Amino acid sequence: MKIAIFTNPEKENNELKEGIVRIASFVGFEIDEENPDVVFACGGDGTLLRSVHRYIDKLDKVSFCGANFGHLGFFYDFEKDEIEIALKAILNGEMRSSKHRLIKGKIEENDGSVTELYAVNEFRIENNLKPLIANVYVDGEPFEYFLGTGLTISSSVGSTAYNLTLNGAAVCSELETLQLTPIQPSTQCKCFKSSLILPIDKTIHLEGLLNNVLLGYDYVVKERMSFKSITISTSDKEFTLLNRFGTNTLSKLKKLYN
């Protein structure tokens, strides 16, 4: 079985990576950074997000697992002192796998061209300089005339990330949903003040004053973006996450409140 060891490129630690490569080789893996069967991420949740984006064109051939070197580590079941245990479990097929679909942002540029982006956790559109004004449509029907700092649209697995800091709802990843959550909605109009949870097959469309805005998706932040509209839906892309048998989303959600 082939494996790639992935660490955060912004915090590259060659000594750490080389040490894990030695353990993986000792356990019985073949190291292959380009065409692995498994990507083993070492870091926090952001590191696993980066690993999914790194192999986004090979998601149908790759599974993801890892060891938590961060804080909560919502994607991880193994801690940094359990790397050999995790690698042996992967090699012996003693892991539970689950699939999670990415969400897609389809951006219509001002010149009419279209750009497609993908996210595991969420998309967010913000304007910290002046109010963001946007018409919000759900499946083509008007839902809201929004005035505020911004909006975020998250997947179920992303509900416990930035969405949770906005007092959005934490959703079990077994439930496939899209969640629309306002960022500092205006008190001067009747904007919705809490998150809206939608079935996975819904489409959210935003258009309005989308000039010089911040567009964020997962760990990527693009400032001073200007575009005509953005349409967010569930994509056909999905990633496979390997977890320890006996763990579930509910046990991880409990950690958020204890």
pLDDT tens for 105-124 read 999 999 999 999 999 999 99
pLDDT of residue 59: 97
In this prediction, residue 174 carries a pLDDT of: 84
Q: Does 252 reside within a domain?
A: no
Q: What is the pLDDT of residues 164-210, one digit of tens each?
A: 999 999 998 888 999 999 999 887 777 788 899 999 999 999 999 89
Residue 13: inside a domain: yes
For residue 133, give the CATH number of its domain. Answer: 2.60.200.30
- pLDDT averaged over every residue in the chain: 91
Q: Are residues 45 and 9 in the same domain?
A: yes
Q: What is the mean pLDDT of residues 224-228?
A: 91
Domain count within the chain: 2
- Does residue 211 sit in the same domain as residue 143? yes
Tell me which residue has tokens 């539970």. 96
Contact (CB, 8 A) for 12 and 50 = no
The set of catalytic residues is 45
- pLDDT above 80 for 13: no
- The answer to whether residue 125 scores a pLDDT higher than 90 is yes
Inter-residue contact 119 to 215 (CB < 8 Å):
no
Query: What CATH number is associated with residue 65?
Result: 3.40.50.10330
Closest CA to 95 of 63, 58, 60, 59: 63
pLDDT of 193 reads 85
Which of 93, 116, 144 is a domain's end point?
Answer: 93
Whole-angstrom CA distances from 93 to 60, 85, 89, 136 are 18, 12, 6, 45
Q: Residue 126 — very low, low, confident or very high, per pLDDT cuts 50/70/90?
A: very high
